[in-house]
Amino acid sequence: MFKTIYQLKTLIAFIFVIATLPLVSVSAEEMEFDPFEKSISEISDALNNNQITSEQLVEYYLERIEAYDKQGPAINSIITINDQAVEIAKQLDEERQNKGPRGILHGIPIVVKDNIDVKGMPTSAGSVALKDAYPTEDAFVIQKLKDEGAIILAKTNMSEFAASYGRLGYSSLGGLTLNPYNLNRDASGSSSGTAAAVTANFAVFGLGTDTSASVRGPANVTGLVGIRPTIGLISRSGVIPSSLTFDTTGPIARSVEDAAIVLSVMAGVDEKDAKTLPAKEHIVEDYSKSLDSTALQNARIGVAVDFFGDNEEVDAIANEAIAKMEEMGTEAIPVSFSELTQYLWTPIVGPINDADFKVQLEEYLAQLPEGQPKTLEEIIKISESPEVLNSATPVNPGRVEGFKTSMEQAEFKDSAEYNQIITNEMPKVRDEIQAIMENENLDAIVFPTMSCPASPRFDQEDPTYVCEAYDTYAASYVASATGFPEITVPAGVTKEEVPVGISFFGLAFSEQSLLDLAYSFEQATNARTLPKTTPNFAVDLVDETKFKDVNSYEDEIEYLTDKGIIQGYADGTFKPNNPITRLQAIKMILREKGIKDFSNVTNPGFIDVKPGDNGYEEIAKAVELGIINGYVNAQGQKYFDPNGKLTRSHAAKILVLAYDLEGTNPTEFKDVPKEYWAYDEISALAANNIAGGYEDGTFKPTNNLSRQDFAVLLARYLNDDFKTSK
């Protein structure tokens, strides 16, 4: 079941924002229930009604991971697949039939951030130094989820040791996780892999950890609900620590109800984590049971004005969300924090985190089996080894410097200054928040979860990104420093199709109230959108070459479709205005040339494309044929940037090299002077009547090329009927 069907000549398969993918077809006879975007309750009901089995669910999500995480858009959210997942699913199916379900999570596949211990799977924290670190037992929260019947499907990528240092969602073991909504942007950090995987429907929900924003940030930029609970509500034992002063685990899900269900299972007192002991009297048995869609009708909400002003789109989305709450009956009151509370990283979060890290990490490492690193010094030594430095994914240099800072700051732990922050400064912030909420009689404080949208991935520029913030995560430090809860919920999307969330923040153990408010907002706005790069698998395929969204250059596009050179989406669309990537262009040309054998390709030596990656063979073949070359970075390393958007200049060069086009006619484009690097290639296209310019006499060589534009250029080379008149 869920077997991959490759394209036949007349069969329209998927083409996504990044690359052409195999299409997975789900037989209605094999599965009566479509799991895509379904809630925990819906899937649980389908399992109980024999509409689907847990084994089928696991296979479904594994197929999606194969199709979208490892190829196609190559989201790269998964570090390790649980090779026992299918067998566990079979056992849980049998148990359901014989004894009934353990609970609502019985047989439901989930993903877990790779700093949380799962017995039988390594816990790496994204580090090559811990790639073989197998824990001897499950983390407390994992055991609780397993007791409920959840299946750990995979471990997810993360910012290495839960700190990004400028490379959000990057690790030496997992590489870089991309944002499924916009592959030029990151998925925040450090729980980037979990958030990307959940929004891409690689599992029903996932677990993250949050020290200073690591659940909330990733959930915010991937259109999800993320909960940072009150410190002590959820155990941290069996989790690689960053700073136990601030660390907590938390759920990341596609809806408030799902997040509430998971929170109910995760919450609990753990004798191994003393912070959980005071929570005993505050735990709600089922946070999802009484979710109130009318909670905003009579609520008083404080609007934290200090966290606006860094990005117009984010501000507009947040203000629209607040206006919607007011429309529902909420009273919104502007509130402002003290200068200390407006930016808590420097006085509280940063110094404590640096001081805690070495000592607490080494306490965790001491529990690992022999043969694994036991000290931070060993981690640094492995990270700086030639083998790791010269690999395709070396440790982020900033992360290494962070290790060294933590080595130096370890002596600060339990010093008089350290204790001053813990015993005086942190309570001062808590008292300030409590006073504001009590004086204004507030049910919660709201603000944009991040003051700017998802940032560009560290390895390429994105001129569309605008952010005036010194630190776009500043608002997140309030919950971290106080230990109070915060929930982020989708509120809208930017013009670059990146989600923006709004946060509901409250006093200790106010999770139920915050969930009610978040649920009320979610139900009223339905603001979650779906990422276009990871759509649902098609059930029925349309056997035709007419695209319902193509209104221009239809002959050229249909011509290439009939030849099997270009493909469309399963819903019968081509999405002609989507930008084409370098890898997509290469694949089209090689398909046209009939090149299918890549068995003897020579490794071109690009640091960002290695054997086994999607498109590696095609890229290597294109280099071998002289069609393309790569770039050289500041360190002298060659890279290719396969996901980079193709400009008109680059397209001209690729076509000229691919088809040995010649042409001596000078261009008459006033924006392409003779000294321009692609002058000869652009001239060759013009001389062969393949490419014309614009009415104003320009060629706009640096403009990104759309899928339609490249298809037209290729069709006009191959078929004289389509030659341009210019």
What digits encode the pLDDT tens for the residues 89-137? Answer: 999 999 999 999 999 999 999 999 999 999 999 999 999 999 999 999 9
C-beta separation of 283 from 151 below 8 A = no
**Which of 20, 70, 87, 61 has its CA nearest to residue 154?**
61
pLDDT at 538 over 70: no
User: Which residue in this structure is represented by tokens 């490492």?
Assistant: 365
Q: Which whole number is the average pLDDT over 71-79?
A: 95
CB atoms within 10 A of CB 533: 22
CA distance 377 to 407: 8
Give the pLDDT of residue 27.
Answer: 36
C-beta separation of 259 from 41 below 8 A = no
pLDDT at 8 over 90: no
- HEC readout, 7-24: CCCCCCCCECCCCECCEE
Q: Which residues contact 571 (CB under 8 A, 6 or more apart)?
A: 538, 542
Q: Which whole number is the average pLDDT over 45-68?
A: 95
Q: How confident is the model at residue 546 (pLDDT cuts 50, 70, 90)?
A: low
Q: Which whole number is the average pLDDT over 201-213?
A: 98
Lowest mean pLDDT segment, chosen from 165-179, 203-217, 292-306, 566-580:
566-580
- Supply 398's token pair: 């900033």
**Which of 661, 662, 650 has its CA nearest to residue 700?**
650
Q: Which whole number is the average pLDDT over 414-433?
A: 97
Lowest mean pLDDT segment, chosen from 105-119, 335-349, 476-490, 661-675:
661-675
Q: Which whole number is the average pLDDT over 471-484?
A: 98
CB atoms within 10 A of CB 73: 24
Give the pLDDT of residue 31.
Answer: 61
Residue 608, phi then psi, degrees to nearest 5:
-105, 5
Q: Which whole number is the average pLDDT over 642-650?
A: 90
Three-class secondary structure of residue 194 per DSSP: helix
Beta strands in 344-385 (DSSP E): none
User: If residue 352 lies in a helix (H) or strand (E), which one and from where to where?
Assistant: helix 350-365
Q: Which residues contact 54 (CB under 8 A, 6 or more apart)?
A: 47, 89, 90, 92, 93, 96, 106, 107, 108, 109, 151
pLDDT at 150 over 70: yes
Question: pTM to 2 decimals?
Answer: 0.74
Lowest mean pLDDT segment, chosen from 59-63, 472-476, 518-522, 572-576:
572-576
Give the pLDDT of residue 18.
Answer: 33
Residue of 491 and 543 predicted with greater confidence: 491
- Supply 94's token pair: 């049998």
Q: Which whole number is the average pLDDT over 26-45?
A: 78
Lowest mean pLDDT segment, chosen from 30-44, 54-68, 451-465:
30-44
For residue 301, which amino acid is it? Answer: I
Q: Cis link prior to 190 (omega < 30° from 0)? A: yes
Calculate the average pLDDT of the chain.
91
- HEC readout, 531-599: CCCCCCCCCCCCCCCCCCCCCCCHHHHHHHHHCCCCCCCCCCCCCCCCECEHHHHHHHHHHHCCCCCCC
pLDDT at 542 over 60: no
Kindly list the distances between the CA atom of residue 361 and the CA atoms of 239, 366, 378, 551, 586, in Å, as whole numbers in the listed order: 10, 9, 12, 59, 46
Q: Which whole number is the average pLDDT over 78-92?
A: 98
Reported as a single tens digit per residue, the pLDDT across 428-476 is 999 999 999 999 999 999 999 999 999 999 999 999 999 999 999 999 9
**Which of 644, 686, 641, 642 has its CA nearest to residue 668?**
686
Q: How confident is the model at residue 61 (pLDDT cuts 50, 70, 90)?
A: very high
Lowest mean pLDDT segment, chosen from 37-51, 309-323, 663-677:
663-677
- Supply 575's token pair: 């999405």
pLDDT at 158 over 70: yes
pLDDT at 263 over 80: yes
Give the pLDDT of residue 41.
Answer: 96
CA distance 609 to 616: 6
Kindly list the distances between the CA atom of residue 27 and the CA atoms of 52, 60, 541, in Å, as whole numbers in the listed order: 12, 12, 12
pLDDT at 24 over 50: no
C-beta separation of 332 from 301 below 8 A = yes
- Name the DSSP letter for residue 706: B
- Supply 108's token pair: 């439901």
pLDDT at 427 over 70: yes
CA distance 204 to 155: 14
CA distance 411 to 145: 37
Q: Which residues contact 370 (CB under 8 A, 6 or more apart)?
A: none
Give the pLDDT of residue 357.
Answer: 98
Residue of 715 and 352 predicted with greater confidence: 352
Give the pLDDT of residue 6.
Answer: 29
Residue of 677 and 295 predicted with greater confidence: 295
Q: Which whole number is the average pLDDT over 510-525?
A: 98
Lowest mean pLDDT segment, chosen from 234-248, 279-293, 644-658:
644-658
CA distance 557 to 572: 13
- Name the DSSP letter for residue 110: E
- Name the DSSP letter for residue 468: -
pLDDT at 377 over 70: yes
CA distance 569 to 548: 11
Give the pLDDT of residue 540.
Answer: 31
Residue of 376 and 599 predicted with greater confidence: 376
β-bridge mates for residue 492, sequence order: 500
Tell me the chain's radius of gyration from C-alpha atoms. 27
CA distance 111 to 96: 22
Give the pLDDT of residue 575.
Answer: 83
User: Which residue in this structure is represented by tokens 């999606």?
Assistant: 64
- How many residues can be counted in the chain? 726
Residue of 540 and 418 predicted with greater confidence: 418
Residue of 110 and 540 predicted with greater confidence: 110
Q: Which residues contact 424 (CB under 8 A, 6 or more apart)?
A: none
CA angle 63-66-72, nearest 5°? 120
Q: How confident is the model at residue 410 (pLDDT cuts 50, 70, 90)?
A: very high
Kindly list the distances between the CA atom of residue 373 and the CA atoms of 80, 91, 124, 311, 387, in Å, as whole numbers in the listed order: 20, 35, 11, 43, 17
Give the pLDDT of residue 446.
Answer: 98
Fold of 53-525: Amidase signature (AS) enzymes (3.90.1300)
In which residue ranges of the chain is CATH 3.90.1300.10 found? 53-525
Give the pLDDT of residue 408.
Answer: 97
Q: Which whole number is the average pLDDT over 293-304?
A: 97
C-beta separation of 147 from 383 below 8 A = no
β-bridge mates for residue 675, sequence order: none
Give the pLDDT of residue 537.
Answer: 80
Q: How confident is the model at residue 722 (pLDDT cuts 50, 70, 90)?
A: confident
Give the pLDDT of residue 271.
Answer: 96
Give the pLDDT of residue 539.
Answer: 32
Task: Tell me what percent of the residues of the chain surpass a pLDDT of 90.
Answer: 75
pLDDT at 587 over 50: yes
Q: How confident is the model at residue 173 (pLDDT cuts 50, 70, 90)?
A: very high
Task: Tell me what percent of the residues of the chain surpass a pLDDT of 70.
Answer: 94
